A and B are shown apart, each in its own frame.
Chain A
Amino acid sequence: MRALNFWIANLSSPALVEIRDLNFSYDKRPVLQGINMTFHKGQVIAIMGSSGCGKTTMLRHIGGALKPTKGYVKVDGQVMHELNQAGLYKMRRKMGMLFQFGALFTDMSVYDNVAFQMREHTDLPEEIIHDLVLMKLHAVGLRGTQNLMPSELSGGMARRVALARTVALDPMLIMYDEPFAGLDPISLTVVGDLIRRLNDALGATSVVVTHDVQESLKIVDYVYFMANGVIVAEGSPDEIRASDKAFVRQFVHGEMDGPVPFHYPGGDYRQDLNLRA
């Protein structure tokens, strides 16, 4: 059913994010090579791959934090790297990003964290902000924590408060950087469920960068698999589960060895141990 909705969405809704021939290098070391992706409105997209494959770099390009070496990322019709600071900030007001460990402001209470963007970007009276903050916290099930400081929250709770802060201004595009990292099974399900429900309720588009295969396949519409800076596989969750590509199989089933080797490249083992042949 979700796959059907996905294809209908592809046909009916315009692309919110277009990534074309994206290349990026750090000090001549290629990180992204010829990436092409399209995210339509209303979709939840997962970008998966092992650590260091370029997923977070991809997200930083979408947010306009990095300039590509070649190619472009277009969000809502605007090429991100061509925007000046004012244009970039204007675009970012329509975006939200959940960082890996929440990145809550540690000198502010939960309430002030969620109210932060409303106070910075709107002229709303404090009474309205109060109601909006409580509604956002209620949506993530943490209305009762409004007076707590971030240091008083568990990892899962901090992630949910950060999620409430991310959607404070009802963004059109929500980015998630490893939202499931370090969570217990209950928090994992809660956060996964919230990502899907908030996306559908806000009519937004969500991009989830993750290596948690099982949890993300439950909530996303489409998956891109990345390895060594290129897309090695893509498809709906069902297509990914049924894929016979070695990399996808290794990743989905958590196999120890495969296209992603167990050993980091090194010299001759016997030589390193000073053993004679």
Chain B
Amino acid sequence: MTIANTIRGVGHRTVNAVWRIGLATRFFLQILRFSDTSFRRFRLIKKELFSTGVMSLIIIVVAGLFVGMVLGLQGYETLKRYGSESALGVMVALGLVRELGPVVAALLFASRAGSAMTAEIGLMKATEQISAMEMMAVNPIARIVAPRFWAGVISMPLLAALFSAMGIFGGYFVGVVQIGVDEGSFWSQMQAAVDFKHDIMNGVLKSFVFGTVVTVIALFEGYDAPPTAEGVSGATTRTVVTSSLAILMLDFVLTAMMFGGA
């Protein structure tokens, strides 16, 4: 009986997960279908860019700076063993641009902007604002969801780029200013080793994918949330958990595709 119940439970959860993935995919397609309003009235996206992107600046800047400083410290300690301290700039830059910039920025974006999006849309649903909009013959996907989606997609690569820039500055501060690594080697080796197409553009592509996935998850969870306090809080938690796992899994897949054979 217990085994049967366990199998039934696993089956139920699996079917439910597949069902939700299907619903989220349909939701994503609807966003794309009703995106024309957002581009015709770009001020809708601009308004969301402020709350999604600009309001995330502080956390991204501070986190980027400290991650870069830690990379500088740890990198120096490791490279010193092999007498390669001058390669610190390359290590910090490649680590940030290829990996940490897109991934950590996306994780922070999911926690700050993603959870805010879910809570906002969930509460709009709970307070009948979405129903009111539908009754006014205004499509909520076009008017509320699509501008937030595009704001997320646009702001994510910019935030990741800023994160990487601040991280490099943090690495420079610790490595060059504090420890005394040669400044010329730090910058020149970085310039020589970091390839624009292979490293920077792949990082941008990663952050674009993460931005799309995190924003779709956040918006879907908010739109699909049961219209109760418990429902909205559960949806907000799911956004952070699902987004974080999706970022880390996708990061592996994308890294394998981009750099696996290199």
Once the chains bind, are A103 and B127 in contact (CB under 8 Å)?
Answer: yes
- List the A side residues contacting B132 at CB < 8 Å: 97, 99, 103, 105
In the complex, how many angstroms separate the beta carbon of B117 from the nearest chain A beta carbon?
A: 13
* Cα of A93 to Cα of B134 in the assembled complex, Å: 10
Asked if B249 lies at the interface with its beta carbon under 8 angstroms from chain A, I say: no
- In A81-102, which residues have CB < 8 Å from any B CB? 88-90, 92-93, 95-97, 99-101
Asked if A106 lies at the interface with its beta carbon under 8 angstroms from chain B, I say: yes
* Cα of A88 to Cα of B127 in the assembled complex, Å: 23
In the complex, how many angstroms separate the beta carbon of A89 from the nearest chain B beta carbon?
A: 4
* Cα of A120 to Cα of B139 in the assembled complex, Å: 10
Interface of B, secondary structure class, is: helix
Asked if B195 lies at the interface with its beta carbon under 8 angstroms from chain A, I say: no
In the complex, how many angstroms separate the beta carbon of B123 from the nearest chain A beta carbon?
A: 8
Asked if B135 lies at the interface with its beta carbon under 8 angstroms from chain A, I say: yes
Taking residues whose C-beta sits less than 8 angstroms from the other chain, chain A's interface range is: 20 to 34
- List the A side residues contacting B143 at CB < 8 Å: 120
Partner of B127, one of A90, A93, A95, A106: A106
- List the B side residues contacting A116 at CB < 8 Å: 136, 138
Asked if A49 lies at the interface with its beta carbon under 8 angstroms from chain B, I say: no
Once the chains bind, are B135 and A92 in contact (CB under 8 Å)?
Answer: yes
In the complex, how many angstroms separate the beta carbon of B146 from the nearest chain A beta carbon?
A: 14
Asked if A63 lies at the interface with its beta carbon under 8 angstroms from chain B, I say: yes
* Cα of A103 to Cα of B137 in the assembled complex, Å: 15
* Cα of A101 to Cα of B126 in the assembled complex, Å: 11
- In B108-134, which residues have CB < 8 Å from any A CB? 123-124, 127-129, 131-134
When A and B form their complex, what is the total count of cross-chain residue pairs whose Cβ atoms lie within 8 Å? 47
In the complex, how many angstroms separate the beta carbon of B128 from the nearest chain A beta carbon?
A: 4
- List the B side residues contacting A103 at CB < 8 Å: 127-129, 131-132
In the complex, how many angstroms separate the beta carbon of B29 from the nearest chain A beta carbon?
A: 15
- List the A side residues contacting B124 at CB < 8 Å: 105-106
- List the B side residues contacting A63 at CB < 8 Å: 135
- List the B side residues contacting A88 at CB < 8 Å: 137
- List the A side residues contacting B136 at CB < 8 Å: 92, 116-117, 120
Asked if A29 lies at the interface with its beta carbon under 8 angstroms from chain B, I say: no
Once the chains bind, are A99 and B138 in contact (CB under 8 Å)?
Answer: no
- List the A side residues contacting B137 at CB < 8 Å: 88-90, 92-93, 120-121
* Cα of A89 to Cα of B138 in the assembled complex, Å: 8
* Cα of A95 to Cα of B138 in the assembled complex, Å: 12
Asked if A242 lies at the interface with its beta carbon under 8 angstroms from chain B, I say: no
Given A63-B135, A65-B134, A92-B137, decide whether A105 and B128 contact each other with a Cβ distance below 8 A.
no
Once the chains bind, are A101 and B138 in contact (CB under 8 Å)?
Answer: no
In the complex, how many angstroms separate the beta carbon of B119 from the nearest chain A beta carbon?
A: 12
In the complex, how many angstroms separate the beta carbon of A26 from the nearest chain B beta carbon?
A: 15
* Cα of A117 to Cα of B124 in the assembled complex, Å: 17
Most chain A C-beta atoms within 10 Å of own C-beta, residue among B133, B134, B136, B138: B136
Once the chains bind, are B128 and A120 in contact (CB under 8 Å)?
Answer: no
In the complex, how many angstroms separate the beta carbon of B54 from the nearest chain A beta carbon?
A: 16
> Interface digits, B154-181 against A, CB 8 Å rule (1 contact, 0 not)?
0000000000000000000000000000
- B134: nearest chain-A partner, CB-CB: A65
- B133: nearest chain-A partner, CB-CB: A105
- A98: nearest chain-B partner, CB-CB: B132
> Interface digits, A149-180 against B, CB 8 Å rule (1 contact, 0 not)?
00000000000000000000000000000000
In the complex, how many angstroms separate the beta carbon of B72 from the nearest chain A beta carbon?
A: 41
In the complex, how many angstroms separate the beta carbon of B31 from the nearest chain A beta carbon?
A: 16
- B138: nearest chain-A partner, CB-CB: A120
Once the chains bind, are B135 and A101 in contact (CB under 8 Å)?
Answer: no
- List the B side residues contacting A92 at CB < 8 Å: 134-137
- List the A side residues contacting B127 at CB < 8 Å: 101, 103, 106
Partner of B131, one of A90, A93, A96, A99: A99
Most chain A C-beta atoms within 10 Å of own C-beta, residue among B124, B134, B139: B134
* Cα of A99 to Cα of B143 in the assembled complex, Å: 20
- B130: nearest chain-A partner, CB-CB: A103
* Cα of A235 to Cα of B87 in the assembled complex, Å: 89
15 contacting pairs across A/B (C-beta < 8 A): A65-B134, A89-B137, A92-B134, A93-B137, A97-B132, A97-B135, A99-B132, A103-B129, A103-B131, A104-B129, A105-B129, A116-B136, A117-B138, A120-B143, A121-B137
Residues of A within 8 A of B (CB): 63, 65, 88-90, 92-93, 95-97, 99-101, 103-106, 116-117, 120-121
Given contacts A89-B137, A95-B135, A120-B138, 7 further A-B contacts (CB under 8 A): A63-B135, A97-B132, A99-B131, A103-B131, A105-B133, A121-B137, A121-B138
Give 4 nearest A-B pairs by CB, closest first.
A103-B132, A89-B137, A92-B137, A103-B128
